[in-house]
Every structure is written in C-alpha cells, then in structure tokens.
Structure 1
Amino acid sequence: MVDRKKKMRLDLLMVEKGVVASREKAKVLIMAGEVMVNGETVTKPSKQFPTDVKIHLKERLKYVSRGGYKIEGAFEDFKLSVKGKVVCDLGSSTGGFVDFLIKNGAKRVYAVDVGKGQLHWKLRNDSRVIVKEGINARYLKVDDLGEKVDFLTCDLSFISVKKVLNVVYDVLKDDGKALILIKPQFEALRSEVKKGVVRDERVHIRVLKEVKEEAKKKGFGVKGFTFSKLRGPKGNIEFFILLEKGAAEGFTDDFTDIENVVKEAWNFFKNDEGRKC
C-alpha cells in the first residue's frame, strides 16, 4: 500500500507504483526526458515527490538498451548525421548504438562484438545490420567487413580505447569519422579506480588528454569531446571523443577544451544523489 503522505525519489516511486520493473530502467527513462509527473517532464531521478502523484511515460524505451540514449546525446551535441552512411559499431553487445544508428538512417551497420548471442533479436533480423560476432575489436581487419566505412562508433569495456585506434583508423574511409565512448575506469591507473569508480576530476582530465594525444599520433584530427548524459556502471562519468581521419583539429573551443567539458560533466551530475562520484 502506497503511503500518500510521504515523499519518495522519482526512480523508486516509479518502481513502487509499478510503472517500470526496475530502478535502473526508471533512471534511463527519467534522464531521457520520457517521464511526466502531474503533466510536467522531470529529468532528475533523485527528485522527491508525494506518493500520490500521477506518473506516465511519454513513450516506451526507444532503443534496445540505454546505450542508444548515450549516443543520441552525443549526436545532438555534435550535430552529427549517419543518414545513408555505412557504419561499424565496435562492442555492440545488446545493440543500443546499432539501434540508434539504424533509426537515424544508416545504410548498414556492421555490429562487431567479441561475444556471441548478445545482439537483440530485432536488430539481428534487420537486413541493414551485419552481425560480426566472436571478433576481438583489437584484431578487426577491413577484410572482416569487406569494405571501409564512413563512420565508426565504439563502446568497449575492460580495455583502453587507445588500443583500438589503429583499427579505427584502418577501417575508416578517408575523411571518415569516429565517435568513441571513453570509460575512465578502463583508462586510469588501478590505484585511481576505487571500487570500480573514478572519483577524481583531475584523473578524468588526464585520461582525456592521453586519449587525445594518442589519437593525434595515429593521424586523427580531434574534433571534440562531450560527456554522456547517462552514467556508466557503478556511477562512472563517461565521455565521448569525436575523431576525423586525417582532418585538422577541433571545430569549436567549447568541445575541445577538456577542462571545461569535464567541469560541465561534474556539474551536471553533482545533484544526482543516487550515484555520486
């Protein structure tokens, strides 16, 4: 029985009322702007409401996993388009990135993952998705795809993205772009990762600078950085880097100033009581 007098966090209240099955799904929907309370959109999972409020969803999850919302935010920040383009997605897993790419007009997407059987059945049965399972991204070759691609996306775990930059460069066409998710917990020193989480803003800054320098060494133009509007596992703040093969560096100071991007990310999440850094 719901006690109407008390207040609860919105994510917990959604579970309590049976709107969603889990707190994690509630967080994804709230931060994606899909939840309305008494007719108004709410985007903070930690916001407290009386338990008798009316909650409804604008729509069900648009993507097969929360990764779709992560990449959606980065595409909006950078004003990117993949309409009519051939794309390679490294670390597809369930297929959140792939789902977003297909929904936004990609001609075809190569879904690459070292695991097998993880890609959502909806994507597996889509003729625009070419499944490439059992392939370690570090050893991917153009021959595995049969062609070079216009655009590449990347969401890898338990490995530094610096280790796949050669592969990214090789599979991209000239002037091709890559949008790579940087997970600081897999880039930082072991001593800097406490219980799986990077809690030091200075470590974030250093990690992004290291990835930037490595990308430049490989021949990429570093077009900019932004941060994921959804936290990663255990509450980690994650970042995106946009690269262009053989291009000059940067298009706006807002996106290339690493210190500002990191500061903006920390400010964005500072009131998220559920997952503090």
Structure 2
Amino acid sequence: MTKERLDRALVNRGLVESRSRAQALILAGQVLVNRQRELKAGRMVEAADTVELVSPMPYVSRGGVKLAAALEAFEVNPTGWHVVDIGASTGGFTDCWLKHGARHVWAVDVGYGQLHWQLRQDPRVSVYERTNARYVTRDQLGLEDGVDAGSVDVSFIGLRLILEPLRNLVKTQGLVIVLIKPQFEAGPTAVGKGGVVRDPAVHRQVLYRVLEDAAGLGWAPEGLIASPIRGPEGNIEFLAALRLDGDARPLPIEDVVERAWQGEGAHG
C-alpha cells in the first residue's frame, strides 16, 4: 500500500496550500492522524488513514501563535499602531500584529522571498528584505518618527545585537516583544546534541543575562512568558515585553522556567 509523508498528504488532500504551511501546522499540534495528534511531518500515512486539522491556523505561520500569546499575556492592544517586525521571515508576527489591529507593519528580514504572498500584497505592510537589522535606520525604512512597537524573532544571533539599533526605530516608551531563543544565546558548551538546550539552569542563566543586557540598553523588562509553541527540535523558547526608557519590573524568571519545563507554557 502506498504511503506518503504527512506534510505531503496534507497538501495532496487539499487541506493546506504548501508543505511549509503543513509543517507549521504539524509543529503547532494542529494536525490529527486517525484522531491522534501528530507532531512529526515525516510520519508516513496511508490512504486509509484519516488526516484532519484541529482548527485552521489563524496566521500565515506558527510564529503568529507565539506573538498572540504574548499580546494576551502582556495585555497589549496594538490598534492603530505602527510596528517594525525584525526577522519577519514568513510573516507570522507581521500577520498577528495586523490581525490585532496594527495600522502598518515594516517587515524586515535579512533573507529573501520568505514573506507570505498575502502579506506582500497587503498595503499595510512595507517589505524590507535582504536588510540586516543590525544596521537598519529610520531613513532606510522611510520613517520620519519612531514606531509605536516592535517585535524580534531572529536566529543565529544574540538579541543584544538587535536591541541596540532598535532603539533608533522605536519611539520613547515604545514596546518591543522579543522571542528569546536560548539555543542561540547560550554558549556552545551549554547546547546539547541537535542544537537543543536540555538544562533548565541554562534557560535561567540565559533569561537573566538577556534581560539584564536589555535593561542596560534602556529596554525595561515588563513581562515574561514561555512560548506556547516550542521551537525547532523541541527547544523551549520565551517571550519578553520590553519598554524603551520605561520602568523595569521584577520578573518571575524561576517560575516561568519551571512552568515551561512542566509543560504548562510550551507545547511541541
């Protein structure tokens, strides 16, 4: 009997438009095989197997689910805001900002050709590809004034290198939500096989250092949660709310990490 990968089956059965979309839904836990949740895109399925979606993905990628959780947890209402999205990639964060009422989003990414076509055609989105956020300026983005808020989802680079130039893009008291990826913040000796951080102590160390670095750059930490969805290979990630020139609040880092490891804040 012929078998095929689950991500291909989703496309071939007309449930999604692309394999990348299928993979995002699978990783987000939105796909059932024979009424059982399946988290592996490479799972082989037969024609007789029932494949269905738990619910349609509300955003163009699973990143939108992460940002939506942060907006809810931090009680952020971005209606009418101008936002810069650093590391836009497919556009999950950008899409989430728009669906929550943002007026305009500047989608910035060092890559090319990744942003979802729906967002490319949206007049509320300004696309800046092949753009290194470490050196981006207001003039480059055509900004006369600072934006109301920002978001950051980057890989293979420490957040400190992004937060410093971001000061020049966001207005005073502006809010930035950053996705903290311990696998890219911890030293190589702290990251296990497959690029996965398997020690909660490393998570705590990373969070303390990243938030301390942010405060040193003028970004006051206001909130912290574990991402509701894990990153690639099952990495636990975190979302923090930072206020430019704001008043820092004590954050329950120990509790957030503990809950994440107990499975209360991050799912595969």
Question: Aligned residue pairs: how many?
Answer: 249
1:3-33: per-residue Cα shift (whole Å, max 9, x none)?
xxxxxxxx99x97xx6777565234153xxx
1:27-71: per-residue Cα shift (whole Å, max 9, x none)?
4153xxx97x98xxx98969xxxxx99885464221111111111
Aligned to 2:206: 207
**Counterpart secondary structure, 2:167:** helix
| Paired amino acid for 1:180 | V
Aligned to 2:86: 90
Aligned to 2:163: 165
TM-score w.r.t. length of structure 1: 0.79
Q: Aligned match of 1:79 in 75, 80, 87? A: 75
Q: Aligned match of 1:188 in 186, 189, 192? A: 186
Q: Aligned match of 2:263 in 256, 263, 268? A: 268
* Matches for 1:23-172 after TM superposition, within 5 Å: 25-30=25-30, 57=53, 59-145=55-141, 146=143, 147-172=145-170
Contact kept, 8 Å, 1:168 with 1:178, in 2: the verdict is no
| Paired amino acid for 1:165 | L
Q: Which runs of 5+ in 2 are unaligned?
A: 41-47
* Matches for 1:172-251 after TM superposition, within 5 Å: 172-194=170-192, 195-250=194-249
Contact kept, 8 Å, 2:61 with 2:91, in 1: the verdict is yes
Q: Which runs of 5+ in 1 are unaligned?
A: 2-10, 47-51
Aligned to 1:8: none
Contact kept, 8 Å, 1:237 with 1:265, in 2: the verdict is yes
- Pair 1:98–1:24, CA change in 2 (3 A): closer
Higher mean alpha-carbon deviation, 55-64 vs 86-95, is at 55-64
Task: Give the RMSD, CA atoms, in angstroms.
Answer: 3.1
Contact kept, 8 Å, 2:137 with 2:169, in 1: the verdict is yes
| Paired amino acid for 2:163 | L
- Pair 1:239–1:109, CA change in 2 (3 A): same
Identity of aligned residues (%): 40
- Pair 1:268–1:144, CA change in 2 (3 A): same
Distance 1:209 1:140 in 2: 27
Contact kept, 8 Å, 1:160 with 1:187, in 2: the verdict is yes
Higher mean alpha-carbon deviation, 208-217 vs 58-67, is at 58-67
Contact kept, 8 Å, 2:230 with 2:266, in 1: the verdict is no
